[in-house]
């Protein structure tokens, strides 16, 4: 069955780093664009980053550009988000999602269950 499973969340101090992973199964991972989306406690959805199927095209939200790095390993069916210089405002549930079509033409049809990142001293 088609599935995305995130891991790697946790409690980290301001200025610290964390690496999130997203394991894909049940579909040909290398055929799909992927995105990270986050949701702060009690808030709405915020797009974080997007990567093309080959990894050659990458975009970031302004709020994380220069601090976060998205990557993927198609041989391992895995998506990653390296988060550096973390701030309290990065505290959120982080979701990975399968993106359909160039520039999300057909939306994000598969989402993981999310992993929680808490940035606090």
Q: What whole-number distance in Å separates Cα of residue 98 and Cα of residue 79?
A: 10
Identity of the residue, 45 or 88, whose beta carbon is nearer to other proteins in the bound complex: 45
How do 115-119 and 10-12 pair as beta strands? parallel
Whose CA is closest to 104, among 29, 35, 26, 30?
35
Identity of the residue, 16 or 114, whose beta carbon is nearer to other proteins in the bound complex: 114
The 16-55 contact track toward other proteins, x by CB under 8 A, reads -------------------x-x------xxxx--x-----
Window of 8-16, 18-26, 57-65, 67-75 that interacts with other proteins by CB under 8 A: 57-65
Q: With binding defined as CB under 8 A, does residue 62 bind other proteins?
A: yes
**Residue 33 CA to its chain's centroid (Å):** 12
């Amino acid at each position: 069955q088609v599935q995305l499973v995130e891991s790697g969340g946790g409690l980290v101090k301001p200025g610290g780093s964390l690496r999130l992973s997203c394991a894909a199964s049940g579909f040909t991972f290398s055929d799909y664009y992927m995105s990270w989306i986050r949701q702060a406690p009690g808030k709405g959805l915020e797009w974080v980053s997007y990567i093309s199927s080959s990894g050659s095209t990458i975009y970031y939200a302004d709020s994380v550009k220069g601090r976060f790095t998205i990557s993927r390993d198609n041989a391992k069916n895995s998506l990653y988000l390296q988060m550096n210089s973390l701030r309290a405002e990065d505290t959120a549930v982080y979701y990975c999602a399968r993106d359909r079509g160039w520039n999300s033409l057909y939306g994000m049809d598969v989402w993981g269950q999310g992993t929680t990142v808490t940035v606090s001293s």
